Amino acid sequence: MKRTLIVIIAIAALFVAGRAWAHHSFAATYIESQKVTVEGDLVQFQWRNPHSFVQIVAKDPKGGTPQRWSAEWGSGGQLGQQGVAKDTLKVGDHIIITGDPSRTAGDFRLRVRTIFRPSDGWRWGGEFD
């Protein structure tokens, strides 16, 4: 009986440790002390778990070619509780995203802090300038 209990506990511990290890740290991926703002048109909205993603094409501020940005957002469950549904954002929506930039130079990624859709004034997130 003791041996069976020890095996069950060991398996449970491995399961929990594996799940914790698989989830990444935002601080390891994004520079949380910096803020960038990206304005462009939505090309994809992936409302899912464990993280949703917003893909937008934005003009290069230096006048170059358009850039495709990937913005990591909360889980579908979290967003749903905050009033964001699968169809809240639609391809073609012009949006402004503010967030934490990627730690990888030249990587067009950010972690969403705020989203604003000027066409109807819809907003999500913390403080707006």
For residue 7, pLDDT beyond 60: no
Residues 6+ apart with CB under 8 A from 4: none
State how many domains the chain has. Answer: 1
CA-to-CA dists, residue 84 to 47, 65, 87, angstroms? 9, 31, 8
Question: In this prediction, what percent of the chain has a pLDDT beyond 70?
Answer: 78
Share of the chain above pLDDT 90, in %: 64
Query: Domain span at residue 96?
Result: 26-125
Within-domain flag for 74: yes
Residue 115, phi then psi, degrees to nearest 5: -135, 135
Provide the pLDDT for residue 129. 46
The predicted pLDDT at position 82 comes to 93
pTM over 0.85: no
Q: What would the mean pLDDT of 56-84 be, rounded to a whole number?
A: 91
Residue 109, Cβ density class (10 Å: 0-12 exposed, 13-18 middle, ≥19 buried): middle
pLDDT confidence of residue 9: 63
16 assigned to some structural domain: no
What are 8-54's pLDDT values in tens digits? Answer: 665 655 554 444 444 557 777 899 999 999 999 999 999 999 999 99
- Asked whether residue 120 is assigned to any structural domain, the reply reads yes
CATH of the domain at 108: 2.40.50.140
**Confidence at residue 60, expressed as pLDDT on a 0 to 100 scale:** 80
Average pLDDT for 104-113: 92
> Among residues 55, 53, 51, which one has the least CA distance to residue 69?
55
